[in-house]
Structures are given as C-alpha cells and as structure tokens.
A and B are shown apart, each in its own frame.
Chain A
Amino acid sequence: MAAKKNGPVIALGAVLAAGLAAPLVTGSPLGFYLEVLIGGLMAGVLYSLVALGFVLIFKASGVFNFAQGAMVLFAALALARLAEWLPAWIGIPAGFPALTLAFVLAAGIMVGLAWVIERIVLRPLVAQDPVALLMATLGVTFFLDGFGQTIWGSDIYKIDLGISKDPTMILESMFQGGILVSKEDLIAAVIAAGLVILLALFFQKTATGRALRAVADDHQAAQSIGIPLNRIWVIVWAVAGFVALVAGMVWGAKLGVQFSLAQLALKALPVVILGGFTSIPGAIIGGLIIGVGEKMAEVFLGPPLVKMWDLAGGGIENWFAYVLALLFLMVRPEGLFGEKHIDRV
C-alpha cells in the first residue's frame, strides 16, 4: 500500500494543467482568461478562510466541525449589527471607529462561544465516535442558525469597510481591453494573507501555539507532559472563531451579511480533502485550486457542454469541486499536504 504510486498523481496534474491551458489554446483572449483566473483565486481565498477554521479544529481535537459555516455567519452578523448599533448606544462615530470596536467585541463573542461549546458540547462527548462529534457540530449549526437570527435579525446587512466597489482596469497597454480587478478583492486577499501569517506566528512562536501543535501530533503524549486538553480546545475553538470572524468580515463586505452565507460552508469539504485535513497551507492552496478550477470550468467548459447536449443552462460549478476532490482522492487519499496515516482499504 505504501508503495510510491506517483503515476496517477502526475497524470491528474497533467490533465488539470492541460485543462487550465486549453482556453488559451482555443483562442480566449488572454486578458479575459486572467480575469477569470483572478476571479477564481478570489473565490478561492474565501473558501480557504472557511477551510482554515475546519483544519484548525480538526488538527487539535479530531472533530470535523460542520458548524464552521454557521460560525462565519454568526460572527459576520455580530460584526455588522454591532457596527450599526454601537454609534447609537455609546455615541462613538459611525464608520471606522465603530467598526473597529465592533470587531473587537465580535471577537470577544466568538471566544465566549468557543468556551460555551467546549463546556456544553465537547466535554461531555469526549472520546466518542467521530460521527457523534460531527453530529454534535451539526446540532451546533442548527442552534447558531436560530440563535443568530433571533438576536441579530435575518435581513441583509452591510459591512462597510470603506473600499470602493467600482472595478479598475490594469495593464490596459498590455492586453486588449485590459484586466478588470476590484480593489475589494485585492484587500480580501491581503487580509487572508495577513491572517495566515498571524496564525503561523502564533503556532510557531508562542507557548500556546506550541502546545497546540503538540496536541495535534499526539493527544495522549501531550496530556502526559501536562498540557491541559480542555483549555487547548477552548483556545483552538476560539482561534477558529476568530478565523470565522475574519472570513465573515471579508465575505460580508463583498456579498452582504445574510443567512445564506452559512450555505457556502459545504464547499470547504472538498477544499480540505484536496489540501489534507491537517494542513494549514493545504487549506489555503486547496481553496485556491478549487476556486480557480470551479470558475474556469464554469466559464470555459460550461458553454460548450451546454451546446453539445442541449442542456438547460450551465452551472457545472455546483459539482465540479466535489468531482475534482473525488478524482484527487482516488490518486492521493491523504491530500496535497496531509499526513500519511490515512487508512486505505
């Protein structure tokens, strides 16, 4: 089983690369091609941010946290609504100051939430079957969906980061028509990159971070050298909550904060399969691959498919990510950067 089977991996990679290059060969303008690529990367950044939360929790506690999407929604709702209410409550100016304070408060709320989840849900279920834990997080999802709408409301809310939404053209001299990029997307990418650096520093440089990594490597060994598991779990859920808040902020600023944000969480599953369940860089790169693959497929593969079989519209991006993940699984079950102890049949 452990024998190196790189052939299929290379084959799949080659097919993907060929797929990526195909539109150019068939005569799509380079400018537009790059736009799709950028659009895909941007979507990928958002997927990555959610997948990051999954990976953090899975690493530290072996729980597949289905509630990550609900946490994103909850955090974004808290941020948007607090930024709206704070000026009226304590009279600080609306706009950036209110948003900053709201961010801090929302982060506090997410930490509190992490503590409650650990106390009420995880601690009684410790050492249970992974499926039971997964179900418990589904329960948390339902609870947060209802609770979030109860206290924050179910309308569409705005998070205004004060970034212009109008697109700008770049490289107009190089390509016909130029490339359209939006500032918002760039800032989202910067925020995501910043978050990843922050997390890396946290894991590498702080004592807590090192303890977290120890727990991720081996629960029992970590416990035997005196690392308190319960506290570690609270911390990791809090960190995941913070990641959710950042993801919620970026998404909310782009799309508006509404109940349907939580639905995007399912997309994180193929991302973590692709990147590996336990790898933070894997989550990022997996997200980018899924994002790009999906948009490319929809834009370049969809229309010919529709024409060929007389389909009622495209929409292949709905399943593309999952099929890609499935293909990938067949050739490399541990993911791009995952650890190799996945049991194959």
Chain B
Amino acid sequence: MFYRENGQFKSSYREDQQILGIRQDRWFIFGLIAFAFLVVPFVASDYMFRAILIPFLIVSLAAIGLNLLVGYCGQISLGHAAFMAIGAYAAYNLVVRFPQLNFLLVLVLAGLIAAGVGILFGLPSLQIKGLYLGVATLAAQFFIDWVFARVKWFTNYSPSGSVSTAPIELFGYKFDSPVERYVLVLAVVIVFALMAKNLVRGHIGRSWMAMRDMDVAAEVIGIRPMYAKLSAFAVSAFYAGVAGALWGFVHLGSWEPAAFSINFSLNLLFMIIIGGMGSILGSFIGAAFIVLLPITLNQVLPPLGALVGMNFGTAMASHLEFMIFGALIIFFLIVEPLGIARLWAIGKEKLRLWPFPH
C-alpha cells in the first residue's frame, strides 16, 4: 500500500541509474543516514558509542570488504583479519614516521598498502578455488600475524610488542569524545559503503559476479579472470585495511597482533553468510547480528534466568551465550540459507503487494 513503485516513471538515463531506484527506498535510506547523523549522537550513551556503535560500524566496513570478495567474486577468504592487521600496522607506521600526514590520507594509504598485500595473497586464486583457496588465505592469516609479532620494526621497537596510537586529529580538530569518533567512523563507513554499492553495479562488479557464477563462461564473454580476481582481492583488502586502521586507531587505541586473530576472520565470514552473500545491506545486518547478539545475550540472560527462578553466574551465562549463538546460526541457515538480507528482500516483495494477495 505504502511501498510500491507505481507511478514513479524514469524519464532520463540519470534517473534510471540511481542506486536506489524506488523513491521509498531512497527516503528510507536518507532517513536512516539522517537519523544516524542527527539523532543518534544526541541520544546514545557512551556505552552505546564505544562498545556497540563504533565497533559495529567498523566491522561492517570490513564485512563489506569481505563480501565484495566472497559474495560478489566467489573467492573464499579465511584470513581477512590479516588484511585488517596490515591496514592497522601500516597506519601506525605512517603516523609514527610521518606525523604531519592527514589522518584521512593515512587511512587511504593504509588501505592501499593492504590492497597490495591482498593482491599478493590473491595470486593463488588464479590456480585454485573453494576451500583450497581458503587454505591459502589461512596461510596469509598466520604468516601476517607472525610477522607483526616478530619483526620489531613494525611495532617501532615497542618492548611488549603492543602499539599505542595518539588521539586522532583532523584539520586541527581533535576527535576525542565517543560522539566525535562515532561521527568520524560513520562518515567514513557511509562513503565507502556507497562506493561499494556503486562498484558492484558497475563494470568491475559485473565482471566479479560473472566470475562467481561461472568462470569459464565469464572468460568466454571476454572477462579476464586475472584482472577480475586480483581486482576483487585488491578492493576487498583495501576495505579491510581501512577498517583495520579504524579498528586500531578509533576503537582499540592500542593493540597487539592478537586483536586481528583467526577468530576475527571467522567472525567476518559469519557476518556475510548470516547477513547475506553478495549484499551490501547484508554486510551491515550480519555485522549487527555478530556484534550485538553475544553482548545482548550476555546482558539479557542473567535477568531472564532470575525471572524463572534460576540464578546463574557469568560463567553459565557465557556458556548459554555460546549455545544460543550456535543454535541461532543453525536456525538462520535452515530458515534462510541465503542470509537475512534475503529475508529483507522477500519482506519488501510482500510489502509491495500488501494488502492485496496478488
């Protein structure tokens, strides 16, 4: 009733090529962005910013990166946190060695460095695919972790192997408080998310999807596999690198290689599979699911237990958190193997027809 495109006519190519073709979608997204920028900063608490919103946004960015590679180009990566580590350590070294650099420039450079390493570790993809490629990326994960833990130059000879960053300054303005950091991250993430959305609609994105759906056919219609796959690895690692730099500088402030461990990589993979492969929106939904669910469960379970007369400690709550988390993953896979984003799309389809059945 409210949601349908009847009566919205495209009268120019420009209009036809909009990211969000349907007016209602456009309003919804604009509304959401406006809400995130104009309302959230005034109502959310410190805890919301620092423990939930900022990590959620940064992790979403990394998930978008992984989704470009896995969801759009069909190349699996079990070591994406390693590319985040590259971004974080690259940014750290840039800041330490060239303190006058603008932070935004540092972010982009860190992303570019990660992209370079991504291409390197993407080379095996020209030979192998599937889980086999997964092992190649696992090698990247463990090797890169090891390099940052061992080569002292990367940590600026820090005795404990842990690096700390200075507060972020942009154009002479210090991003100190959680709100300011949130706004900074939000802006970066929105820009990159829109870029990703555009990228996958364009020529490159289409060649990725062609590779994913059938590589031989893609080659036949003139897509160069090397170019398509390596560009996917590069762009994906770029996103991961930027996310890693943000994770280190904005969220953690000080970190060691363990901050970008294999578990982080697996979590990223969870996000895009739960959220939806090949969907930018799915990356956000998946990130929300993986970031929020454990925390929510951890907080909600003890009071719920008390409600039914059971008093369990943090250990029990934590075990239950694991169990429910695992069960929910299975549940969502069974209900909708294509991810929550697919449920969303189905919901939209239904809404278009509502309230009439046909």
Determine, out of B233-241, B246-254, B303-311, B330-338, the stretch whose residues face the partner at the interface.
B330-338
A270 at interface, CB cutoff 8 A? yes
Interface residues of A in 123-161 (CB under 8 A from B): 124-125, 128-132, 135-136, 138-147, 149-150, 154
Judge if B150 is at the interface, Cβ distance under 8 Å.
yes
Q: How far is the CB of A206 from chain B (nearest CB, A)?
A: 30
Q: Measured between alpha carbons, how far is A315 from B257 in the docked complex, in Å?
A: 14
Query: A13 → chain B, closest Cβ, in Å?
Result: 19
Chain B residues positioned under 8 Å from A345 (CB to CB): 125-129, 215, 225
B167: CB under 8 A from chain A?
A: no
**Which residues 243-289 of A have a CB within 8 angstroms of B?**
266, 269-270, 273, 277
Residue B262 lies at the interface, judged by CB distance under 8 Å to chain A = yes
A131 CA / B278 CA spacing, docked (Å): 14
| Chain B neighbourhood of A121, CB < 8 A | 330, 334
Query: Considering the chains assembled together, what is the distance between the CA atoms of A154 and B319 in angstroms?
Result: 10
A146 to B274, CA, bound (A): 20
Of A208-216, A226-234, A319-327, the one contacting chain B is A319-327
Q: Tell whether, in the assembled complex, residue B323 and residue A136 are in contact, meaning their CB atoms are under 8 Å apart.
A: no
Distance, CA A266 to CA B128, complexed state (A): 20
A329: interface (CB < 8 Å): yes
Residues of B within 8 Å of A154, CB to CB, are 315
Indicate if B343 sits at the interface (CB-CB under 8 A): no
Pairwise interchain contact A319-B128, C-beta atoms closer than 8 A: no
CB nearest neighbor in B for A129: B337
Q: Which residues of A contact B146 (CB under 8 A)?
A: 315-316, 318-319
Of B138, B141, B329, B337, the contact of A142 (CB 8 Å cutoff): B329
Q: Smallest distance from the beta carbon of A130 to chain B beta carbons, Å? A: 8
Establish whether residues B143 and A323, one from each chain, have CB atoms under 8 Å apart when the complex forms: yes
Q: Interface on chain B toward A: helix, strand, loop, or mixed SS?
A: helix
CB within 8 Å for A64 and B131 given contacts A266-B262, A318-B146, A322-B138: yes
A343 interface hit (Cβ, 8 Å): yes
Query: Pick the contact of B270 from A129, A138, A270, A329 — CB < 8 Å?
Result: A138
Q: Report how far A244 CA is from B149 CA in the complex, Å.
A: 33
Closest chain B residue, CB of each to CB of A128: B337
Does B7 interact with chain A (Cβ within 8 Å)?
no
Asked whether any CB of chain A lies closer than 8 Å to the CB of B326, the reply is: yes
Interface: A89 (CB within 8 A): no
Query: Which residue on A lies nearest to B125, using beta carbons?
Result: A345
Task: Give Cα A329 to B319, complex, Å.
Answer: 38
The verdict on B22 contacting chain A, using a C-beta distance below 8 Å, is: no
Determine whether the beta carbon of A319 is less than 8 Å from that of B126. no
* Chain B interface, number of residues (Cβ within 8 angstroms): 52
Tell me whether B136 and A329 are in contact (CB under 8 A).
yes
Q: How far is the CA of A145 from the CA of B318 in the complex (A)?
A: 11
CA distance A143 to B146 in the complex (A): 30
Q: Which of B139, B141, B270 contacts A135 (CB 8 A)?
A: B270
Q: Tell me which of A125, A141, A319 contacts B326 (CB under 8 A).
A: A141
B135 and A132 contacting across the interface, CB-CB below 8 Å: no
A-B contact count (CB 8 A): 143
Q: Does B132 contact A (CB under 8 A)?
A: yes
Q: A139-B330, A266-B262 are in contact. Are A319 and B139 (CB under 8 A)?
A: yes
Q: Which residue of B lies closest to A151 (CB)?
A: B319
CB within 8 Å of B: which A280-324 residues: 309-313, 315-316, 318-319, 322-323
Within 8 Å of chain B (Cβ to Cβ): is A344?
A: yes
A311 to B330, Cβ gap below 8 A?
no
- Taking a contact as CB atoms under 8 Å apart, the answer to whether B151 and A309 are in contact is yes
Residues of B within 8 A of A135 (CB): 269-270, 273-274, 329, 333
Q: Within the complex, which residue of A120, A131, A333 is in contact with B127, where a contact is CB–CB below 8 Å?
A: A333
Question: Which residues on the A side are within 8 Å of B327 (C-beta)?
Answer: 139, 143
Interface size class of A (residues with CB under 8 A): 35 or more
Q: Which of B132, B135, B322, B333 touches A342 (beta carbons < 8 Å)?
A: B132
Closest to A121 in B: B330
A130 neighbours in B (Cβ, 8 Å): 130
Flag if B319 contacts A147 (CB, 8 Å): yes
Q: Which residue of B lies closest to A67 (CB)?
A: B326
Contacts of A150 in B (CB 8 A): 316, 319-320, 323
Docked-complex contact B321 and A146, CB < 8 angstroms? yes
Contacts of B333 in A (CB 8 A): 125, 128, 132, 135-136, 139
Q: Chain A residues near B134: list those with CB within 8 A.
A: 269
Q: Quick one: given A150-B323, A323-B143, A329-B136, are A344 and B150 in contact (CB under 8 Å)?
A: no
| Residues of chain B lying within 8 A (CB to CB) of residue A124 | 334
**Which of A136, A309, A313, A342 makes the CB contact (< 8 A) with B330?**
A136
Q: B138 to chain A: which residues have CB within 8 Å?
A: 266, 269-270, 322
Question: CB-CB < 8 A to A342: which residues of B?
Answer: 132
Write out the residue numbers on chain A whose beta carbons fall within 8 Å of the beta carbon of B262.
Answer: 266
Q: Which of A138, A146, A325 has the most CB of B within 10 A?
A: A146
A330 within 8 A of B: yes
Q: How far is the CA of A241 from the CA of B316 in the complex (A)?
A: 26
13 further contact pairs, Cβ within 8 A, besides A138-B270, A315-B149, A326-B124: A136-B329, A142-B323, A143-B326, A146-B324, A273-B132, A312-B149, A319-B142, A322-B139, A326-B139, A329-B136, A333-B132, A344-B127, A345-B215
- A interface with B by C-beta (< 8 Å): 64, 120-121, 124-125, 128-132, 135-136, 138-147, 149-150, 154, 266, 269-270, 273, 277, 309-313, 315-316, 318-319, 322-323, 325-326, 329-330, 333, 342-345
The 7 closest A-B pairs by CB, nearest first: A146-B322, A142-B326, A143-B326, A139-B329, A322-B139, A319-B142, A146-B323
Q: Please, could you name 23 A-B residue pairs with CB atoms under 8 Å apart, sorted by A? A: A124-B334, A131-B76, A131-B277, A132-B273, A136-B330, A136-B333, A138-B326, A139-B333, A146-B324, A147-B323, A149-B322, A266-B138, A270-B135, A311-B150, A315-B149, A319-B143, A322-B138, A326-B135, A329-B127, A329-B135, A330-B128, A333-B132, A345-B225
